[in-house]
Structure 1
């Protein structure tokens, strides 16, 4: 069962779920929400701070990124908490050599880069997302 909110996804991670699975399932929930208000409701509640600085920063970036990509008109205030910003750069690619780090630094969306997280250009792509489609729609 998919988490109903970003806060619920973080709670699942705290109980042992993998980051990749819990966050991907949350993005599916977000993308399937029928209205902008329903989407905002999935990011409105503040997820607990986990003492994992990377996860805490990532979750703030996810909320801000989704709110802006989907033009929800507002970002939850909790996403701006200084505890959600890393002190040191984190390049999310595990094989980030110098060239890859440079690419990630350049390509990372502002919502993540401002938190010192450097990732791919469209980090939350999902197959069902309008931002994840690679082929044009057929008429």
Structure 2
């Protein structure tokens, strides 16, 4: 079942769902929202802090990034809380070489880099196929 909010996605991760699965499902929910207000509602509720500093910071980065990239007009206040930042850098690429770390340092969106999270240039992009609104192929 796809989470309706970022808070639900983080709760699903806490219950054992893989990060990439829960966050991808949330991004789909966000992208399928029909209005700017409906999109904002998916990030408005603060996700519970998890005691995983990376996940807590990532939630803040995702909320701010989506709000700014999709021009929602505001970012939830919770996203800039002190627990939404990392003390040490996190390079999201597994076993990143020095060259990859340098690339990620300069390519990471500000919403991530400001929290000490270094990731790809377009971190929440999703592959899209030829699907109609019901999610079925058009052929």
- Please state if 1:125 is matched with 2:125: yes
CA distance in 2, matches of 1:18, 1:51: 17
CA contact (8 A) 1:31 1:128 kept: no
CA distance in 2, matches of 1:73, 1:45: 16
Unaligned stretches of 5+ in structure 1?
130-139
Q: Give the corresponding residue for 2:88.
A: 88
CA distance in 2, matches of 1:70, 1:5: 16
Q: Give the corresponding residue for 1:14.
A: 14
TM-score if structure 1 supplies the norm length?
A: 0.91
1:12-51: per-residue Cα shift (whole Å, max 9, x none)? 0111101000000000000000000000000000000000
**Residue-pair matches, total:** 129
The within-5 A match list for 1:22-37 is: 22-37=22-37
Unaligned stretches of 5+ in structure 2?
130-139
CA distance in 2, matches of 1:75, 1:15: 27
CA distance in 1, matches of 2:44, 2:95: 34
Ranges of 4+ aligned residues in structure 1 off by more than 4 Å: none
TM-score if structure 2 supplies the norm length?
A: 0.91
- Please state if 1:75 is matched with 2:51: no
CA distance in 1, matches of 2:128, 2:27: 10
Q: Give the corresponding residue for 2:41.
A: 41
CA contact (8 A) 1:64 1:75 kept: yes
| 1:127 positional shift | 2.3
CA distance in 1, matches of 2:14, 2:46: 15
| 1:68 positional shift | 0.3
Q: Give the corresponding residue for 2:57.
A: 57
